[in-house]
Each structure stands twice: as C-alpha cells, then as structure tokens.
Amino acid sequence: MRPPPEAVLFDLDGTLLDTAPDMVAALHALQDEESVPRLAYDSARAWVSHGVVGVVGAAFGALPETERARLQQRFIGIYATCLARETRPFPGMREVLAAIEAAGVPWGVVTNKVARLSEPILAACGLRSRCAVVVSGDTTAQRKPHPLPLLHALDAIGVAPAHAIYVGDAARDIAAGRAAGTHTVAALYGYIPADEEPAGWGAEHCIRMPMELLGVAGIPLPQAAVQP
C-alpha cells in the first residue's frame, strides 16, 4: 500500500497483545473451581480471540443459558485479578508501533473486550497513553463484525476509512474492516482455531509476524532501528 496509511487500527487479543497466558490461567482457575479437567493450553489459546464466550464455551461445552452466564461472569471476575501478569505485545510489535509513530501515523485499538478489561491491560503494557483512540466492546451500540466500532474510532481521529488499515486475527475483524471500508490485514500469528481458514476471510493482506505489517503499510523502520 502506497503511500502510508493515515491511521492503523489493531484488534487487541491475538493481534496487538499476546493475552493468552493470562486468559488461559483464568480459565484454568475457573475449571479448578468447578472440578472440571483443564483444557490443554494450546486448545484454549486458539479460542482467546473469541473472548469470554469462546473460551468458556470451548472449556465447558453446551450449557443452559443461566449456567453459561454464571461461568462467564465468574471467568471475568477471575481474569480481572490477573489481567497483565504475563500479557505482552507480540514479538516485534513494539518496534512496529515505534515505526508507525515515527512516520507520524496515529494508531489505535478496536476490540470486543469490554473497557473494564481492555483499558487496564493497555495501561499495564505502557500503551494506553500512546493510543490515538481505543474503542472497546461496550463503547458503541454494536460490536464487531459490525463496522460501527471501526467507524467510531476513525471518526474520533478524523481519518476516512479508505485511508486506514485494520489488523485482526479473526474473521469478524476482517468482516468489520471490509464493511467499514478500511484496508484489512489478517494476523496469522494470532489465535486461530485449527478448523478456521483465514484465506477465506477476504483480507487484502496476511502477515505471519508483526514486522511484516510495515512492508504492507509502506512504513519504514526508524533509522535508529536499522542495523548497519
């Protein structure tokens, strides 16, 4: 894409941040409370981008609505106590953000994670103050795959969708970006269940590591980061 975009927006879980260690730890604590065998880490990790509903559903299966709601609320309560113990930006992501900032391009987050979780995680990782905008799952009346959260974010920073990139690791992220009119990038390094095929999501580009985003976006590494 040339010239560089006027904004870059990221999904949170599985795209900007590796939140799986803390999400899975909370899930295992819940399973221990319920005397249910722990779901294997890799199996649980694949569902992290599907949020509380996906993780709890993968671990406990089909349940009556009241029981499912109880477990989801208990999961949130446990997770809120360990939000950023092991959560970190994916390898290379800090360099990507530095390059985006050096190019004068604002970046932000559009996530389905509710603000009571997303905001403290970003703050703990030292990123909240650097975001031009954060749209959480309870910021607007709709959630992804609806385009409204992305449109809300872009309106807040004054960038037209056609001049923005949205990066995500789930089909709903790409669907939201396409519906909003942004350029779309699928993060293949994220949390993707084995039975999903990202090639069918319709993203303009796919990246296997964060640093590849710079090439897609036409953003150079800052000179200080370039090794002689």
**Phi, psi angles (nearest 5°) of residue 148:** -55, -45
Domain range annotation of the chain = 7-18+88-223, 20-79
Residue 169 appears among annotated catalytic residues: no
Question: Band of the pLDDT at 2, cuts 50, 70, 90?
Answer: low
For residue 43, with 0-12 CB atoms within 10 Å meaning exposed, 13-18 middle and 19 or more buried, which class applies? Answer: middle
Quick check: 79 pLDDT over 90?
A: yes
**Phi, psi angles (nearest 5°) of residue 133:** -160, 145
Count of beta carbons in the 10 Å neighbourhood of residue 123: 13
Collapse the DSSP code of 77 into the 3-class scheme (helix H, G, I; strand E, B; otherwise coil) and give the result. Answer: helix
**Out of 11, 18, 22, 169, which one is annotated catalytic?**
11
Question: Band of the pLDDT at 227, cuts 50, 70, 90?
Answer: very low
Assign 3-state DSSP to the chain and report helix, strand, coil percentages, each to 5: 45, 15, 40
| Helices (H), ranges, 17-167 | 20-33, 41-45, 51-60, 65-79, 93-102, 115-124, 148-157
Average per-residue pLDDT for the chain? 96
- CATH code: domain 7-18+88-223 is 3.40.50.1000
**Residue among 87, 226, 110, 125 at smallest CA distance from 168:** 110
Residue linked to tokens 């949130």: 76
pLDDT tens digits along 134-154: 999 999 999 999 999 999 999
pLDDT tens digits along 156-210: 999 999 999 999 999 999 999 999 999 999 999 999 998 999 999 999 999 999 9
Question: Band of the pLDDT at 228, cuts 50, 70, 90?
Answer: very low
Partnered with residue 135 across adjacent β-strands are 110
CA distances from 58 to 65, 80, 105, 182 (A): 15, 20, 38, 31
Contact 21/175 with Cβ under 8 angstroms?
no
Contacts of residue 150, defined as CB under 8 A and 6 or more positions apart, other chains included, come to: 9, 110, 135, 144, 161, 166, 176, 177, 180, 182
Q: What is the DSSP string of 87-116?
A: -EEPTTHHHHHHHHHHTT--EEEE-SS-HH
DSSP designation for 220? P
